[in-house]
Amino acid sequence: MTHRVQIEPELDLHTFAPRDIASVVAEYVHAAHAEGLAEVRFVHGRGRGVQRRIVHEVLAAHELVDRHWDDTASHLGATFARLKDG
């Protein structure tokens, strides 16, 4: 199923199937970078940490991500990504 989402500084991943999380995060980073966003936040929830691990793996390997880190205010339920310039 195709989801159309508005590119904003935050994306809640709860509406996506777990098998789609990696591709959603990768595509969202591309779209956010194209829109000129400097930073995005992915809400993945806390649970067992499976989605958090997937998000971190994708962000660590993504060519448009400068760095990423846990949103400590959300108690490991979200991750920030700083996007590269230009």
For residue 36, the domain's CATH number is 3.30.1370.110
Residue 66 lies in a domain: yes
1 belongs to a structural domain:
no
Q: Is residue 45 part of a domain?
A: yes
H or E element in which residue 12 lies: strand 10-12
Residue whose C-alpha is closest to residue 83's, from 53, 38, 49, 35 = 38
User: Which tens digits make up the pLDDT trace of 24-73?
Assistant: 999 999 999 999 999 999 999 988 889 999 999 999 999 999 999 999 99
What is the number of structural domains in the chain? 1
| Nearest alpha carbon to residue 11 among 28, 27, 23, 26 | 28
**Full residue range of the structural domain in which residue 22 is found:** 10-83
pLDDT tens-place string over residues 59-80: 999 999 999 999 999 887 999 9
pTM, two decimal places: 0.91
Residue 68 or residue 6, greater confidence: 68
Residue 36, token pair as written in the block = 């000129």
If you ran DSSP here, which 8-state letter would residue 49 be given? S
